[in-house]
């Protein structure tokens, strides 16, 4: 019907980035403020709105399901804001594969249960990075697409997301924790390594496996005054750490089953290189490295995605340290993108299901619980379907529906990239897939980053 923001629908009061109040979400526009309006889908201008007392306003635009509004003649926009009749009948807009849902699905943004993300504490911290008053640590866990696989530039959507948030005014205070095992596997553009002996991704995946005499070097793309390296005490041989080509400092792991850290502070505020060299017959297995400014508030993104992992791998088996190692990130909010590995296992070789959908849902719910127990908010991301020769829409969509079940049960927001890309053929025609026909291309990772940035309010 195109009816927006009526007194009977107070969820559509408008808030926008007006005069900044440190530590708070900005106030609503004052009565009498004129808001520019555009169609969220087409970006075509619509008649403006005048805000009433207490932030109330109303408008009707025939045939328009979602609008954006601007208090400054189009310099900044807030949206999409949805037709109030859509909000009253969410099931009519939910994707068919998700079934009827009590929560609200935003078809313009491909987001379900968005209000569960937008809690005051998280919003305040993210907004605070724009005001240099808050720190916001954003984490990512999941499988290969979460980690950035398929982006041949070596960036992945998480680093592109950092750029988009920085462009939106968020201060960036560091690289976040870079997990070296997956960085080696993905060809992260910041990583170089020895060729003989050659470091590899260790079986526990977060960790690099560096043979005696081999080395891995990380070149930060964000300035900082402090460098840190992490490892598990009973999993790693001795190694040295050299910063910016300086003296190599010997590090001897404790031999205990605990996460350990080596830190050098007081460095020049600049980008740095961190070279880790194995020095004993027992391979060095550093898990992660970070360059940041500890005294500066701002945004850091730590990507803990592990290629090939399934939900169970984050809870048990050879990946058993994956969740504890990621929890050291102390993320304020974590984006969880996982499920393709479970679905592949279900259909591999046409065999009987090895990961039942119910088991996948239970494992995903357990991951949410573990992240929340460490103090993190959680948002789920449903990646798109890959080549139907490997995974048909019907096979994948039962897993996506299970993600909606977990979002409902746990009160999580859910970003549905599968809904956005529609199907493999549509996405492939738009060059969103890598040549492997499974993972997103660089363009696909850019698109995922843009959707997540919009969800986060950038």
* Whether the predicted pLDDT of 2 surpasses 60: no
When the pLDDT of each residue in the chain is averaged and rounded to a whole number, the result is 84
Q: Specify which of 55-69, 101-115, 266-280 reaches the highest per-range mean pLDDT.
A: 266-280
Q: How far is Cα 4 from Cα 11, in angstroms, rounded to an integer? A: 10
Does the pLDDT at position 439 exceed 50? yes
- pLDDT greater at residue 268 or residue 10: 268
Q: Which tokens is 194 given?
A: 């020895």
pLDDT of residue 82: 61
What is the predicted pLDDT for the residue at 414?
Answer: 94
Which residue in 403, 379, 401 sits closest to 457, CA to CA? 379
* CA angle in degrees (0–180, nearest 5) for 88-93-98: 120
Here the tokens at position 136 are 């916001």
Question: What CATH code is assigned to 89-173+297-458?
Answer: 3.40.50.1110
Q: What is the largest CA-CA distance in the chain?
A: 73
Residue of 307 and 267 predicted with greater confidence:
267
Structural tokens at position 56? 């109330």
Calpha distance 359→361 (Å, rounded): 5
Mean pLDDT of 115-127: 63
User: What integer pLDDT is reported at residue 17 of this predicted model?
Assistant: 41
For the chain, what percent of residues have pLDDT higher than 70?
Answer: 83
User: What is the predicted pLDDT for the residue at 346?
Assistant: 59
Q: For residues 4 and 94, give the distance between their C-alpha atoms in angstroms, rounded to a whole number.
A: 20
Cβ-contact 71, 55 below 8 angstroms: no
Distance, in Å, from the CA atom of 396 to the CA atom of 59, rounded to the nearest integer, reads 40
Nearest to 339 by CA among 314, 316, 321: 314
User: Could you report the per-residue pLDDT of 344-375, keeping only the tens digit for each?
Assistant: 865 544 444 568 999 999 999 999 999 999 98
Give the lowest-confidence range in 272-276, 335-339, 432-436.
Answer: 432-436
pLDDT greater at residue 65 or residue 170:
170
The number of residues making up the chain comes to 458
| Chain segment 377-399, per-residue pLDDT in tens | 899 999 988 888 888 888 899 99
pLDDT digits (tens, 9 = 90+) for 18-34: 433 333 334 456 778 88
Are 364 and 336 in contact, with CB atoms under 8 Å apart?
Answer: yes
Q: What is the pLDDT of residue 162?
A: 93
Confidence band of 268 (pLDDT split at 50, 70, 90) = very high
Question: Of 23 and 168, which is predicted with more confidence?
Answer: 168
Query: Higher confidence at residue 284 or residue 155?
Result: 284
Which residue is associated with the tokens 């499988």?
A: 143
Give the start-to-end residue ranges of the domains of the chain. 3-82, 89-173+297-458, 188-294
Q: What does the pLDDT average to over 299-324?
A: 84
Tell me what pLDDT residue 457 has.
75
CA dist., res. 272 & res. 294, Å (int): 15
pLDDT score of 103: 85
pLDDT above 70 (res 41): no
Helices (H), 28-155: 84-88, 114-117, 120-130, 144-147
Q: How is residue 129 written in tokens? A: 């990075």
Euclidean distance between CA atoms 353 and 139, whole angstroms: 31
401 phi and psi, to 5 degrees? Answer: -60, -35
Tokens of 75: 């310099």
pLDDT given at position 53: 66
User: What pTM value is reported for the model?
Assistant: 0.78
Burial of 292-301, coded b for 16+ CB within 10 Å and e otherwise, reads: bbeebbbbbb
Statement: 188-294 belongs to CATH 2.60.120.260: yes
The pLDDT tens digits for 71-93 are 888 877 776 676 544 443 333 36
Domain 188-294 in the same topology as domain 89-173+297-458: no
Q: Which of 119-123, 158-162, 213-217, 325-329 has the highest mean pLDDT?
A: 213-217
Nearest to 16 by CA among 58, 105, 67, 79: 79
Looking at the chain, the whole-number percentage of residues with pLDDT higher than 90 is 46
Cα separation of 72 and 34, whole Å? Answer: 9
Exposed/middle/buried for 376, CB within 10 Å: 0-12, 13-18, 19+?
Answer: buried
Non-local CB neighbours of 162 within 8 Å, separated by 6+ positions: 172, 176, 299, 301
What pLDDT band is residue 56 in, cutting at 50, 70 and 90? low
pLDDT at 31: 77
Q: What is the pLDDT of residue 372?
A: 92
**C-alpha dihedral, 414 to 318 to 144 to 165, nearest 10°:** 60
| Residue range 408-422: mean pLDDT, rounded | 92
């Amino acid at each position: 019907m195109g009816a927006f923001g009526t007194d009977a629908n107070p969820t559509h009061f408008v808030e926008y980035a007006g005069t900044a109040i440190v530590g708070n979400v900005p106030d609503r526009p004052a009565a009498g403020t004129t808001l520019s309006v555009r169609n969220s889908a087409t970006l075509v201008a619509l008649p403006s709105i005048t805000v009433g007392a207490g932030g109330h306003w109303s408008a009707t635009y025939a045939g328009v399901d979602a609008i954006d509004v601007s208090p400054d003649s189009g310099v900044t926009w807030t949206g999409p804001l949805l037709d109030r009749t859509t909000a009253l009948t969410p099931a009519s807009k939910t994707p068919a594969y998700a079934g009827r849902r009590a929560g609200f699905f935003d078809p313009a943004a491909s987001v379900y249960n968005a209000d569960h993300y937008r809690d005051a504490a998280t919003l305040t911290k993210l907004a605070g990075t724009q005001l240099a008053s808050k720190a916001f640590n954003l984490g990512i866990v999941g499988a290969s697409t979460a980690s950035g696989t398929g982006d041949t530039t070596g960036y992945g959507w998480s680093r592109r997301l950092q750029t988009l948030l920085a462009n939106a005014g968020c201060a960036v205070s560091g690289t976040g924790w870079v997990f070296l095992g997956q960085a080696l596997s993905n060809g992260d553009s910041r990583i170089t390594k020895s060729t003989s002996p050659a470091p590899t991704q260790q079986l526990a995946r977060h960790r690099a496996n560096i043979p005696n005499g081999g080395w891995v070097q990380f070149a930060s793309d964000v300035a900082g005054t402090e460098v840190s390296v992490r490892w598990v005490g009973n999993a790693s041989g001795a190694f040295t750490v050299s910063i910016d080509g300086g003296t190599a400092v010997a590090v001897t792991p404790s031999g205990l089953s605990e996460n350990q850290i080596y830190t050098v502070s007081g460095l020049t505020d600049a980008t740095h290189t961190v070279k880790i060299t194995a020095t004993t017959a027992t391979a060095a297995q550093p898990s992660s490295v970070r360059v940041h400014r500890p005294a500066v508030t701002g945004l850091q993104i730590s990507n803990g995605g592990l290629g090939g992992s399934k939900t169970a791998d984050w809870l048990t088996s050879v990946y058993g340290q994956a969740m504890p190692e990621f929890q050291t990130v102390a993320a304020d909010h974590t984006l969880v993108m996982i499920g393709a590995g479970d679905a592949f296992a279900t259909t591999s070789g046409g065999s009987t299901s090895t990961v039942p959908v119910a088991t996948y849902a239970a494992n995903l719910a357990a991951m949410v619980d573990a992240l929340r127990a460490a103090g993190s908010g959680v948002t789920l991301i449903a990646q798109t379907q890959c080549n139907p020769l490997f995974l048909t829409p019907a096979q994948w969509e039962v897993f996506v529906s299970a993600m909606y079940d977990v979002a409902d049960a746990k009160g999580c927001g859910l970003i549905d990239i599968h809904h956005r890309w529609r199907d493999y053929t549509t996405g492939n025609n738009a060059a969103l897939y890598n040549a492997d026909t499974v993972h997103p291309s660089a363009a696909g990772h850019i698109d995922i980053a843009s959707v997540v940035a919009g969800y986060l309010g950038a």
